[in-house]
Amino acid sequence: MVKFIDMKAYQSNANPLAGTSGTEIRKKAEVIMRTERARTKRQPYVRSKYFSNSKVFIQPFWQHAWDKSWRDRARRLRYLPCALELIRHSQLAPETRQSTENRDELLHRFAGKTPGGESFLVQIRENKKTDRKDFMSVFPGS
pLDDT digits (tens, 9 = 90+) for 6-50: 678 999 999 999 988 889 999 999 999 999 999 999 999 999 999
pLDDT value of position 6: 60
| 3-state DSSP assignment of residue 96 | strand
pTM for this entry:
0.90
Kindly report, residue by residue over 48-74, the tens digit of the pLDDT.
999 999 999 999 999 988 899 999 999
CB atoms within 10 A of CB 108: 20
Helix (H, G, I), strand (E, B) or coil at 58: coil
d(C-alpha 43, C-alpha 135), whole Å: 12
With a pLDDT cut of 90, the percent of the chain lying above it is: 80
Instruction: Tell me what the pLDDT averaged over the chain comes to.
Output: 91
- Gap between the terminal Cα atoms of the chain: 15
